[in-house]
């Protein structure tokens, strides 16, 4: 698809986009109420539109022209792209920091390059840009104004992106993209990720297990800050996170062999996950009371997988 048709094509409603392309979030939106569901759907449509400008464009060169136009539109009063126009209206309405959107655009634009991440730092930086920033903007959309809440939202966004990367290794490889760091899988080529031989399977499965463990740690951190959200939003975010986390659980159950079929969470499973999340919330003090101390942006976390502080990494990302 060329960029002109992508930008000028009649856009579906935000709710329709959320329902068809963001199934987990749409499922959880039942708990948000109409006002916040509409806001979340508008943010999702904006983020998805930016992603599609890269993934559905005919060439990186054309895509970069479109991304440049979006960057310029951040200071424009009337961008030509109607989805971007609505997104900027949402940013003004919710007092979203435009720097977060700029970082998201930077992350999305990096997919126009040859995607080969070297190590965990590069992986986390990418996840921060394309998903952690969405978590930051989601705080404003849901009227969670305490600055401490954003540290937790950042972790939750990164966790979901790590899960997404593990699920879509084959699909990304078909697009000549490798997000699993080279220090985990060595010099494997996209074709070797699409149909790995027996020896490569051992290496790849260990890498996927590691990245999912990394995601699990970020889910844990993110859920610690749910009490900063309004009560209905709290339930919605918890359910969306648990459903998304289930993707990794299912991948682990099939021995991390992503190449057979794309993992999905069925509707019956979503019902079970929803009930389980609601029950666990009732008995979880962190769901009702905000933490006494917030993650310090200047100090690294210590986790079972020896994760460098994502928040410290965010500070350095602006210099990358």
List, for residues 106-165, the tens digit of each pLDDT value: 999 999 999 999 999 999 999 999 999 999 999 999 999 899 999 999 999 999 999 999
pLDDT in tens, 303-319: 333 333 333 333 333 44
**d(Cα 40, Cα 92) in Å, to the nearest integer?**
14
Q: What is the pLDDT of residue 79?
A: 78
Domains in the chain, CATH or no CATH each: 1-113 (no CATH), 114-320 (1.10.600.10)
pLDDT in tens, 180-237: 999 999 999 999 999 999 999 999 999 999 999 999 999 999 999 999 999 999 999 9
The three-state secondary structure class of 318 is: coil
Among the listed residues 51, 10, 12, 16, the one whose alpha carbon sits nearest the alpha carbon of residue 37: 16
pLDDT above 90 for 9: no
pLDDT above 50 for 299: no
Q: What are phi and psi of 230, to 5 degrees?
A: -55, 150
Q: What is the pLDDT of residue 319?
A: 41
Over residues 18-29, the mean pLDDT reads 93
Q: What is the pLDDT of residue 3?
A: 55
**d(Cα 132, Cα 127) in Å, to the nearest integer?**
6
Q: What is the pLDDT of residue 291?
A: 87
Whether this prediction's pTM lies above 0.75 is answered by yes
């Amino acid at each position: 698809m060329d960029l002109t048709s992508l930008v000028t094509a009649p856009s579906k409603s935000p709710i329709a986009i959320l329902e068809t392309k963001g199934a987990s979030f749409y499922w959880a939106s039942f708990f948000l109420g109409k006002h916040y569901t509409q806001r979340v759907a508008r943010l999702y449509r904006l983020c998805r539109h930016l992603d599609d400008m890269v993934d559905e464009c005919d060439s990186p060169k054309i895509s970069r022209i479109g991304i440049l136009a979006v960057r310029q539109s951040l200071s424009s009063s009337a961008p030509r792209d109607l989805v971007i126009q609505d997104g900027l209206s949402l940013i003004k309405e919710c007092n979203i920091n435009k720097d977060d959107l700029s970082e998201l655009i930077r992350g999305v634009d990096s997919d126009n390059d040859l995607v080969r991440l070297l190590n965990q730092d590069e992986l986390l930086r990418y996840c921060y840009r394309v998903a952690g920033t969405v978590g930051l903007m989601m705080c404003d959309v849901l009227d969670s104004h305490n600055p401490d809440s954003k540290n937790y939202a950042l972790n939750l966004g990164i966790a979901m992106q790590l899960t997404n990367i593990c699920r879509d290794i084959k699909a990304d490889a078909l697009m000549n993209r490798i997000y699993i760091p080279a220090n985990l899988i060595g010099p494997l080529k996209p074709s070797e990720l699409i149909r790995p031989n027996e020896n490569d399977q051992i290496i790849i499965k260990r890498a996927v297990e590691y990245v999912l463990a990394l995601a699990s740690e970020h889910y844990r951190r993110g859920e610690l800050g749910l009490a900063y959200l309004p009560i209905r939003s709290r339930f919605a975010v918890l359910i969306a996170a648990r459903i998304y986390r289930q993707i990794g659980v299912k991948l682990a159950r099939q021995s991390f062999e992503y190449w057979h079929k794309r993992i999905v969470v069925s509707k019956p499973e979503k019902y079970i996950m929803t009930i389980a999340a609601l029950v666990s919330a009732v008995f979880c003090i962190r769901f009702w009371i905000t933490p006494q101390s917030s993650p310090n942006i200047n100090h690294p976390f210590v986790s079972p997988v020896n994760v460098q502080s994502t928040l410290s990494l965010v500070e350095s990302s602006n210099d990358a």
